[in-house]
């Protein structure tokens, strides 16, 4: 038989699971279901996305499922109650499922080892920060201080309390009374972040120190470049200063990446009102919260 379940059943080393899980059973009392049957049912649940009840119905109708679990002849009824799957999962625990997963990977060798995992999901965890610039400048200052402490580099100032106070001043920047102070605090944070980065680059002269901190220094420079705001001449374009893909990404992003995130899309059409008034800008939602810098 060339069915996929038949070929898979012949390739799996069922004796491995018998030896691993035999210690979890008692020698007295009512005999339990065979370990191969229970392990095979757990594999079928994950292969075909079955539930406990749906697996019982599919197992009765499909002879290949019965062969995979070690049945010697066709049966018209599941030899156990679906609740026994719950007891088996509790019996082997997380470590038992890890053994099943590791054995299934080793069975296929390096073909099962992938360097990149592509996940098509709308909710993917990632180190993002919003609003962007002020918090990232604060992270630049904190990371510079951490590198200086690790490498025993003397600093003129750490700006720990100052950066925290300036970050607090950037809150509620849309309020008319706070807008000017927020813009000033943003510029000051940008200046302090660049000052800390340049000081580290100037003081890290030893080869060992540069090698140990090269990854952090490059990340700091990249974050400082990516989030550098530019003074705009007017607001006709409506593009928010600093609102680029780099400014959304946190200083040290996770390995998970989104395929379509921050990818420039086609320009949206401008809708002109019928009464001849000023048209609504298609970039109005992207206006800067902190104003042009």
The pLDDT tens digits for 130-149 are 656 788 888 888 888 888 88
Q: How far apart are CA 288 and CA 40, in angstroms?
A: 58
Going by pLDDT thresholds of 50, 70 and 90, the confidence category of residue 163 is very high
Lowest mean pLDDT among 95-109, 212-226, 232-246: 232-246
pLDDT at 234 over 50: no
- The confidence score (pLDDT) of residue 261 equals 42
For residue 269, being part of any structural domain is answered with no
Residue 24 maps to a domain: yes
* Per-residue pLDDT, 136: 82
Note whether residue 203 is domain-resident. Answer: yes
Q: Which residue has the higher pLDDT, 232 or 162?
A: 162
**Do 8 and 103 have their domain in common?**
yes
Alpha helix segments (H runs only) across 69-132: 83-108
Are residues 60 and 156 both part of a single domain?
no
- Answer with the one of 112, 147, 167 that is the final residue of a domain: 112
Mean pLDDT (the chain) is: 73
Question: Does 270 reside within a domain?
Answer: no
Q: Verify that 153 and 237 share a domain, yes or no.
A: yes
Q: Which of 112, 144, 178 is the last residue of a domain?
A: 112
| pTM beyond cutoff 0.85 | no
C-alpha gyration radius of the chain? 30
In this structure, the answer to whether residues 181 and 236 fall within a common structural domain is yes
pLDDT of residue 158 exceeding 80: yes
* pLDDT value, residue 114: 66
User: Both 49 and 96 in a single domain?
Assistant: yes
CB 188 within 8 A of CB 164: no
Same domain, 142 and 249: yes
Is residue 219 one of the residues assigned to a domain? yes
Residue 206 lies in a domain: yes
95-109 mean pLDDT: 85
Rounded to 10 deg, the angle between the 160-169 and 179-203 helix axes is 150
Does a structural domain hold residue 205? yes
Domain membership flag for residue 266: no
How many separate domains does the chain show? 2
Positive or negative, the CA dihedral 229, 230, 231, 234 is negative
- Indicate whether 84 and 33 sit together in one domain: yes
* Closest by CA position to 143, among listed 159, 162, 125: 159
Whether residue 138 is found in the same domain as residue 229: yes
**Is the same domain home to 138 and 62?**
no
Residue-level pLDDT at 164: 93
- pLDDT score at 31: 81
pLDDT of 106 above 50: yes
What's the mean pLDDT in 112-120?
67
Please tell me whether residues 103 and 143 are part of one structural domain.
no
Q: Which domain holds residue 175?
A: 133-253+281-286
Same domain membership, residue 164 and residue 68: no
* Same structural domain, 142 and 230: yes
């Amino acid at each position: 038989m060339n069915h996929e379940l038949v070929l898979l059943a012949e390739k799996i080393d069922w004796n491995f699971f018998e030896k691993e899980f035999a210690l979890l059973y008692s020698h007295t009392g009512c005999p339990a279901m065979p370990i191969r049957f229970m392990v095979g049912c757990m594999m079928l649940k994950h292969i075909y996305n079955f539930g406990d009840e749906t697996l019982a119905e599919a197992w009765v109708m499909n002879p290949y499922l019965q062969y995979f679990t070690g049945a010697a002849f066709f049966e018209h009824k599941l030899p156990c109650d679906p609740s026994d799957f719950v007891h088996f999962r509790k019996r082997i625990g997380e470590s038992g499922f890890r053994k099943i997963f590791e054995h299934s990977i080793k069975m296929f060798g390096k073909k099962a080892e992938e360097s990149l995992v592509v996940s098509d999901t709308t909710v993917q965890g990632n180190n993002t920060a919003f609003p962007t610039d002020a918090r990232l400048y604060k992270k630049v200052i904190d990371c510079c201080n951490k590198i200086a402490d690790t490498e025993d580099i003397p600093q003129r100032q750490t700006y720990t309390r100052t950066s925290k106070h300036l970050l607090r001043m950037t809150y509620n920047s849309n309020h008319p009374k706070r807008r000017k102070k927020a813009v000033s605090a943003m510029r000051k944070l940008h200046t302090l972040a660049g000052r800390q980065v340049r000081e580290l680059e100037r003081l890290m002269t030893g080869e060992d120190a540069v090698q140990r901190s090269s990854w952090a220094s490059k990340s700091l420079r990249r974050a400082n470049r990516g989030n550098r705001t530019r003074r705009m001449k007017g607001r006709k374009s409506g593009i928010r200063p600093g609102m680029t893909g780099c400014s959304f990404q946190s200083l040290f992003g996770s390995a998970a990446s989104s395929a379509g995130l921050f990818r420039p899309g086609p320009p949206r059409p401008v809708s002109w009102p019928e009464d001849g008034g000023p048209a609504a800008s298609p970039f109005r939602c992207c206006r800067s919260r902190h104003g042009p810098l």
